[in-house]
């Protein structure tokens, strides 16, 4: 069987089609402009993290107005309301964790001019050549593509201090129609940088998207040398004052959402997010927290952190940032890294990652926004056994709101921790279909 067919054959039926359980969804126009509803009353800034009741119209029904999604069944309305309240609460808790380690609670959203990076920093061996997967994203033939491509390099300021300056690379075609374009935010994997994503950025730009990449914290322009990321992880373990693993970059992505939503060339209802590995984790958590990310494709990123600890499957994940766990092992006086070391590290550097915000709880809260999870069936860092619970919970959440067709989980057979050309194509098709 060709790989794509094989992958599709394996696409766990869990996610697919089960007849929409109750809850007919009605869509009605409500406000002339997009509005954001606060679900918690605990907000203290412009950051939108508890949006639940109002949002953008879905693709099949799009119009330049705001919609309210309501359920016609009394029972499903009650279920939906309690789910929304639960989602708002979990988002508020996550937002509080993110806020707890900001240098300043809030800085005004500011943009600074940047310039192209001539020698991008890879922490480790730089790539030796083009990657088949990266080059495989569908492109559209655009006459004089190079001349028509507009490249923007800039920084958005998300907090004070060196790491509070997020380098952004944005590509789009120079044309005026449509005036507001859909956006794809692409996020790189560990030790890489935004420049690595250029083939994907160009492919999406050729097809009329605005494509955007950032350097994650302690990566690319936010790093000085080969150990910056590892140094930051160790420092967080020692001092507990930053969250270099996933969470601080999620904060940046909320601010990026603020920036994108304000741009005149962006359709704020059509911002998609995807990423590979660490970038997949960033896409997952940013979308969980910020509903402005309206179509979501984490690639080899979602995993059960608690499941891995409870099932002795944490090793491959720990190995990807091993010096951190070595340091913790020594501090804890152990002869080898074990589940307790792993648990203590997560608690210190990413509180809640292996408990309340873990995949079984946060992934379903991306519903009803179109969500595609792409994985390798043999990936030791994101073992598929650990995805059973989050995937079945998510499938249920999508069914409950009559959106079973907007959730899909694919595990590609014979593939480990690797983003394949199939995954790139499937992500691309998903965005074309839903964004
Ligand atoms: C809001 O943020 C300011 C600092 O920006 C802080 O002084 C104030 O206590 C915060 N209020 C709440 C309700 O969190
Ligand atoms: C980082 O390490 C790689 C090889 O391990 C080397 O090629 C590269 O030059 C180093 N970069 C820096 C900035 O030290
Ligand atoms: C876009 O194209 C127009 C001509 O069609 C040109 O005048 C303008 O300078 C271009 N903008 C950029 C940013 O390249
Ligand atoms: C690497 O960069 C970090 C900061 O990004 C710094 O703390 C560290 O001292 C640097 N290491 C070396 C060997 O220069």
Count of beta carbons in the 10 Å neighbourhood of residue 87: 23
Cα–Cα nearest to 101, from 358, 361, 352, 354:
352
Q: Average pLDDT of 351-380?
A: 98
Pocket mutation for ligand 3, best pick of 145, 174, 175, 210 (most atoms within 8 Å of C-beta): 174
Q: Determine the Cα angle at 255 with ends 254 and 258, to 5°.
A: 95
Cα–Cα nearest to 203, from 153, 140, 145:
140
Question: Residue 369, CB half-sphere, CA atoms under 13 Å: how many?
Answer: 30
Are residues 271 and 260 in contact, defined by beta-carbon separation less than 8 angstroms?
yes
Pocket mutation for ligand 4, best pick of 217, 220, 224 (most atoms within 8 Å of C-beta): 224
- Give, in words, the CATH class of 3-21+106-434: alpha beta
Say yes or no: CB of residue 174 within 6 Å of ligand 3: yes
Question: Which residues lie below 8 Å from residue 423, measured CB to CB, with a gap of 6+?
Answer: 133, 299, 300, 374, 410, 412
3-state secondary structure of 34: coil
Q: How confident is the model at residue 177 (pLDDT cuts 50, 70, 90)?
A: confident
Q: How far apart are the C-alpha atoms of 365 and 345, rounded to whole Å?
A: 25
Q: How confident is the model at residue 59 (pLDDT cuts 50, 70, 90)?
A: low
Q: Tell me which range, 10-24, 61-75, 127-141, 389-403, is most confidently predicted by mean pLDDT.
A: 389-403
3-state secondary structure of 90: helix
Q: How confident is the model at residue 354 (pLDDT cuts 50, 70, 90)?
A: very high
Ligand 4 centroid vs 334 CA: distance in angstroms?
27
Lowest mean pLDDT among 14-23, 41-50, 406-415: 14-23
Cα–Cα nearest to 199, from 144, 149, 156:
149
Q: How confident is the model at residue 75 (pLDDT cuts 50, 70, 90)?
A: low
Question: Residue 242, CB half-sphere, CA atoms under 13 Å: how many?
Answer: 22
Question: Which residues lie below 8 Å from residue 74, measured CB to CB, with a gap of 6+?
Answer: none
pLDDT at 54: 34
Q: How confident is the model at residue 67 (pLDDT cuts 50, 70, 90)?
A: very low
Say yes or no: CB of residue 312 within 6 Å of ligand 4: no
pLDDT at 107: 87
pLDDT at 57: 60
Ligand 2 centroid vs 390 CA: distance in angstroms?
38
Q: How far apart are the C-alpha atoms of 49 and 52, rounded to whole Å?
A: 9
Q: What is the pTM of this model?
A: 0.85
Q: Average pLDDT of 314-321?
A: 97
User: What are the residue ranges spanned by the domains of the chain?
Assistant: 3-21+106-434
């Amino acid at each position: 069987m060709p790989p794509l067919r094989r992958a599709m054959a394996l696409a766990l039926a869990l996610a697919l089609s089960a007849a929409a359980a109750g809850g007919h969804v009605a869509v009605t126009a409500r406000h002339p402009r997009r509005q954001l509803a606060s679900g918690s009353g605990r907000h203290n800034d412009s950051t939108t993290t508890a949006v639940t009741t109002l949002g953008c119209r879905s693709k099949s029904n799009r119009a330049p107005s705001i919609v309210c999604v309501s359920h016609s069944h009394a029972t499903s309305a009650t279920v939906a309301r309690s789910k929304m309240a639960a989602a708002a609460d979990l988002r508020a808790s996550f937002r509080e964790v993110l806020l707890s380690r900001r240098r300043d609670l809030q800085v005004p959203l500011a943009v600074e001019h940047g310039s192209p990076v001539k020698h991008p920093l890879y922490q480790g061996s730089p790539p030796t050549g083009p990657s088949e997967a990266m080059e495989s994203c569908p492109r559209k033939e655009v006459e004089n593509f190079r001349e028509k491509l507009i490249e923007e390099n800039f920084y958005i300021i998300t907090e004070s201090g060196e790491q509070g300056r997020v380098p952004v690379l944005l590509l789009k075609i120079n044309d005026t129609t449509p005036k507001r374009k859909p956006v794809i935010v692409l996020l790189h994997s560990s030790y890489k940088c935004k420049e690595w994503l250029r083939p994907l950025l160009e492919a999406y730009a050729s097809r009329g998207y605005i494509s955007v990449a950032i350097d994650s914290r302690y990566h690319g322009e936010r790093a000085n040398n080969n150990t910056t990321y590892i140094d930051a992880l160790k420092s967080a373990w020692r001092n507990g004052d930053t969250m270099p693993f996933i969470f601080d970059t999620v904060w940046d992505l909320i601010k990026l959402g603020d920036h994108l939503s304000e741009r005149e060339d962006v359709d704020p209802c059509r911002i998609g997010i995807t990423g590979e590995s660490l970038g997949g984790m960033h896409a997952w958590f940013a979308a969980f927290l910020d509903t402005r990310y309206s179509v979501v494709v984490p690639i080899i990123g979602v995993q059960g952190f608690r499941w891995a600890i409870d099932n002795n499957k944490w090793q491959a994940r720990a190995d990807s940032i091993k010096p951190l766990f070595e340091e913790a092992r020594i501090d804890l006086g152990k002869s080898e890294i074990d589940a307790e070391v792993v648990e203590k590290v997560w608690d210190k550097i990413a509180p809640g990652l292996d408990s309340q915000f873990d995949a079984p709880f946060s992934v379903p809260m991306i519903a009803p926004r179109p969500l595609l999870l792409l994985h390798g069936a043999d990936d030791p860092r994101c073992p598929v056994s650990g995805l059973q619970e989050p995937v079945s919970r998510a499938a249920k959440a999508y069914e409950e709101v009559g959106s079973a067709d907007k959730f899909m989980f694919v595990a590609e057979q014979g593939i480990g921790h690797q983003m394949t050309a199939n995954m790139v194509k499937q992500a691309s098709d998903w965005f074309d279909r839903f964004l």
